[in-house]
Amino acid sequence: MLSGMANPRQAAAQLMNFGLIVSTAFMMWKGLSVITDSPSPIVVVLSGSMEPAFQRGDLLFLWNRNIFSETSVGEIVVYNVKDKDIPIVHRVVRKFGTGSKAKLLTKGDNNLSDDTELYARGQDYLVRKDIIGSVVGFIPFVGYVTIMLSEHPWLKPVMLGMMGLVVVLQRE
Amino acid sequence: MAEQLLEQVRDVVDGQIDFEGQRLAELIANVALSVSGIIAFLVGFYLQDIKLAVWIALGGTILTFIVVVPPWPFFNRNPVKWLPVGGSAPRVQPVNLVLEEKITI
Amino acid sequence: MYSSLVRIQNTFGFFTTVAFVVAAFIAASDFVTPRAPVVNVLKTTNLQVVRGRPHYYSSKKEEYAIIKFTLDADLSSLFTWNTKQLFVYITAEWPSTSVSGTTLPSNVTSNQAVIWDTIITSPSADHLANIGPIALKKLRKSAAGKPIDPSRGKITLKNQRPKYQITHPSGKIAETEDVTLRLHYNVQPWVGVLTWNQNADYGLWNALGGGLSKKFNLPALKKKDEGKKAKA
């Protein structure tokens, strides 16, 4: 791999290739975002409040369009509380009214009480625009790597060290 | 001394195998993983047991790793015959010489 | 494939491919398994409206409806090898009468609130259930070693108290008219798409039979229950 350094043309090709991979991934993510109408069409579960349906590390696919019906009671939605940036995955348990003004109340399956306490001060209910998608698809466990890396900071140097060891032990 | 030790460790970690061995290892890995996946699905579906399916798939994968990763002797049965050093022998066109074409990174 | 490291990388790469393909097949196997959920009985047995506070330290008083019900349902066909859990819930639904000037299509109920729910885990997910060790042992035993246990889908409840006492944002719910109870379910798979109860048949999946109670009216406020605190 280091031989590319000697040949600028090869190095440039490798750089282009890398750029292509990155931009393809970015385009797919943004494309999915446009199709689903959700700013974040795939999310990783970070809390256990929806257990046993969702464990930490599970991957959820979201859909944020109301083609056939409105977002209604029983759907599992991902919402953002006003001026808090952490999306929450909970189930809609009450809905009063229809349309964009409908008042929605959510609750985690594993929580004893509903989410009133989680909402912003003075906010008793969610409205449709607080929601960034309803869960439609599920893949278990795959997102656990990201949780491991963010919650156990010592893992990053360990991984770097292992990579370094591999480089040392490899013959060119 | 340290250099020698490093070389020995490198030998163990490297686990080089010959070209025929590489072809064999790739074949074994692909076939074994596919077969364990198919068996896992069929048995799981037939017995309606998803945990069993996961265990079969994981077991098959671990077995594949054990067979494929270490440089077992049967991966080194066709060592490359290099040309003699020095070139004192008359230069004849090599007939069956395989040049690096099999190396995959 | 010349060194051990490269062999590890390549084998792991192909393993992830196989894992995703098998997962896709498992998810697809849901669609070839017939579903025929039925609700035999869903009716209210006791209706009550009391005044209470949304939480302990709130000074606001609201009206809460306590709807007791009887349920007999057979959802056992929803359990397959890919079922992780079944979430069953009953909602009370009623139209808004006071919406001025707007007419709603008849199939839209504008108020919906869950009064009772339950999580039924598949035996493959029993270890994840949020219960104590003794209850877990009992749950495990109930499956008797079977990988799936359709008998768990049979629900019989008599004069069941609701888990949630419901109210309306206006704080008024007494004497609400045309309320119905409806049973819903949500099948959570181990991998694949989440599904809810259907109103029509799709392929091998039948619509939920029954699941709707008769219309009823909530009673007037009960006066003497002043001291009773409602749990929201």
Q: Give pLDDT, residue C57.
A: 76
Judging contacts by C-beta atoms under 8 Å, the chain B residues touching residue A171 are 10, 14
C122 at the A interface (CB within 8 A)?
Answer: no
B54-58, B100-104, C210-214, C218-222: segment of lowest average pLDDT? B100-104
AA letter at A75 = E
What residue has token string 């692909």?
B30
Judging contacts by C-beta atoms under 8 Å, the chain C residues touching residue B50 are 26, 81-82, 124, 147, 190
Strand partners, C83: C189
Residue C224 CB-half CA count within 13 A: 0
Q: Give pLDDT, residue B90.
A: 56
What sign for the dihedral angle of Cα A171, B2, B8, B9?
negative
The model's confidence at residue B4, banded by pLDDT at 50, 70 and 90, is confident
Report d(CA A28, CA A26) in Å as an integer.
5
Domain ranges of chain C: 1-32, 35-227
Give me chain A's average pLDDT, please: 89
Could you tell me how many CB contacts below 8 A there are between chain A and chain B? 11
The residue of chain B with its CA nearest to that of A1 is B105
Range of the domain at B62: 29-74
Judging contacts by C-beta atoms under 8 Å, the chain A residues touching residue B10 are 169-171
For residue C5, what are the contacts with CB-CB under 8 A and spacing of at least 6?
A166, A170, B13, B14
The model's confidence at residue C226, banded by pLDDT at 50, 70 and 90, is very low
Q: Give pLDDT, residue C32.
A: 93
Quote the percentage of chain C above a pLDDT of 90: 63
Report d(CA A121, CA A131) in Å as an integer.
18
Q: Give pLDDT, residue B100.
A: 54
Q: Are A78 and C84 in contact (CB under 8 A)?
A: no
B100 found inside a domain: no
pTM of the predicted protein model? 0.85
B5 found inside a domain: no
Q: Stretch B80-105: mean pLDDT, rounded? A: 64
Six-digit token string for C73: 């349902």
Quote the percentage of chain A above a pLDDT of 90: 53
Choose the closest CB to A110 out of C55, C91, C130.
C130
Number of domains in chain B: 1
**CB–CB contact A73 C23 (8 Å):** no
Six-digit token string for C167: 């109210």
Q: Stretch C99-104: mean pLDDT, rounded? A: 51
State the CATH class of domain A37-146.
mainly beta
Q: Give pLDDT, residue A76.
A: 96
**CB–CB contact B14 A170 (8 Å):** yes
Q: Give pLDDT, residue B83.
A: 87
What sign for the dihedral angle of Cα A61, A93, C77, C79?
positive
Judging contacts by C-beta atoms under 8 Å, the chain A residues touching residue C12 are none
**In the predicted structure, residue C204 carries a pLDDT above the cut 50:** yes
**CB–CB contact A116 C232 (8 Å):** yes
Which other chains touch chain C, taking contact as 3+ CB pairs less than 8 Å apart? Answer: A, B
The model's confidence at residue B35, banded by pLDDT at 50, 70 and 90, is very high
Q: Give pLDDT, residue A48.
A: 87
Q: Give pLDDT, residue C121.
A: 93
**Number of helical (H) and strand (E) elements in chain B, helices listed first:** 3, 0
The residue of chain A with its CA nearest to that of C195 is A136
The number of residues making up chain C comes to 232
φ/ψ bin of C171: left (φ > 0), alpha (ψ from -120 to 50), beta (otherwise):
left
Q: Stretch A130-147: mean pLDDT, rounded? A: 92
Q: Give pLDDT, residue A172.
A: 56
**CB–CB contact B33 C18 (8 Å):** yes
C10 at the B interface (CB within 8 A)?
Answer: yes
**DSSP class per residue in C124-190:** GGGGGSSS-HHHHHHHHHHHTT-S--GGGGEEEEEEEPPSS-B--TTS--TT--SBEEEEEEEEEES
Q: Stretch A104-123: mean pLDDT, rounded? A: 90
- The 8 Å CB, 24+ separation contacts for C51-54 are C51/C221, C51/C225, C51/C226, C51/C230, C52/C165, C52/C228, C52/C229, C52/C230, C53/C229, C53/C230, C54/A116, C54/C167, C54/C230, C54/C232
For residue B56, what are the contacts with CB-CB under 8 A and spacing of at least 6?
B36, B39, B40, B43, B44
Catalytic residue set of A: 49, 90, 115
Which other chains touch chain B, taking contact as 3+ CB pairs less than 8 Å apart? Answer: A, C
The tens digit of pLDDT for each residue in C6-43 reads 899 999 999 999 999 999 999 999 999 999 999 999 99
Q: State ipTM.
A: 0.86
**In the predicted structure, residue A128 carries a pLDDT above the cut 80:** yes
**In the predicted structure, residue A25 carries a pLDDT above the cut 80:** yes
Q: How far is the alpha carbon of C125 from chain B, nearest alpha carbon, in Å? A: 10
